[in-house]
Amino acid sequence: MCCFSRQVEFVSDTGIFARPGKQGRQLLAYGMKVGAPEDLAMILPIPVAAGTPEDGVSFINLEGYPKLFDDLASGFEMKGEKFSLGVPAGRAAGTLKVETVGNFVASFVPTIGDFARLDARFRLPDAVWKGLGQYAKFGFAVFQLKKGAGQIHPMAFSFPSATPEQLFFPTVHIHDGKVHAKAGFDHALYCQVAKSGLSSLMHWEESWKPASAFVKTDKSRGLVEPERHVFRRGLKGMLANEDMLLRVA
């Protein structure tokens, strides 16, 4: 869910990377260019396992690797043209824990009701949640962004997944405080999976070499597995405003 707590001027060059982790966890990274006229929050829903505690999400600092998605894209250049990107009740009361993760302040919000424990600038209006019933049992990774325009380094984390048999890509758009049935997509989705040949990968292309050939995996802080190939899928045009799921088991 590319969801912002305040209206943004633009969002472009969106890239999302996902892969399964150990013990039922999923790793996820989100990169983009954004123009924000005021401080706001980027809110990403995540299908966390039931009972995930407030410290159950582990944030990954990628401040030292701002070009991660450029490098991921380079793994596909030998196959043809370069790929271009365009334009419920809360838990116990109390302030939610915040962490400094590179250039961001990040929090894990366990339930929709727990948003009341964040500064009002970093919440969605209550009316918006009424149109997002699919997130009733989700948790949320919230990244507080400073006003300004430009590329930001990728936001990344791992979480215990309620659905470890599939990868979750947060692609629902909310840029203006409203939930629209369709939205303009210009996204590149990337993933690594434990085995190739999955029927669910029919619409994905595979990198020409393992990730270590084109990604600085030592700078990815464990996000990208060096010896596995990377798969990519582009989402472009006016599409159904919904999240993407990929079965991996």
Burial 208-240 (b: 16+ CB within 10 A, else e): eebbeebbebeebeebbbeebbbbbbbeeeeee
Q: How far is the CA of 129 from the CAs of 111, 137, 165, in angstroms?
A: 12, 12, 27
Nearest to 65 by CA among 35, 98, 29: 29
Which residue in the block uniquely carries the two structure tokens 């270590």? Answer: 212
Q: Is 15 helix (H, G, I), strand (E, B) or coil?
A: strand
What are 173-187's pLDDT values in tens digits? 776 666 777 877 889
What are 35-87's pLDDT values in tens digits? 877 888 888 999 999 999 999 999 999 999 999 999 999 999 855 444 443 33
Q: Is 6 helix (H, G, I), strand (E, B) or coil?
A: coil
pLDDT of residue 7: 78
Structural domain count of the chain: 1
Q: Are 176 and 5 in contact (CB under 8 A)?
A: no
pTM: 0.86
Q: Are 200 and 191 in contact (CB under 8 A)?
A: no
Q: Are 83 and 76 in contact (CB under 8 A)?
A: yes
142 lies in which domain range? Answer: 2-247
65 contact partners, CB below 8 Å, separation of at least 6 = 153, 154, 216, 219, 220, 221
Mean pLDDT for the stretch of residues 105-117? 87
What's the CA gap between 147 and 158, in Å, rounded? 26
Residue 209 has pLDDT above 90, yes or no: yes
Alpha helices by DSSP H, listed for 98-203, are 126-130
116 strand-pairing partners: none
The enclosing domain of 138 has a CATH number of 2.60.250
* Kind and range of the H or E run holding 108: strand 104-109
* Kind and range of the H or E run holding 16: strand 10-20
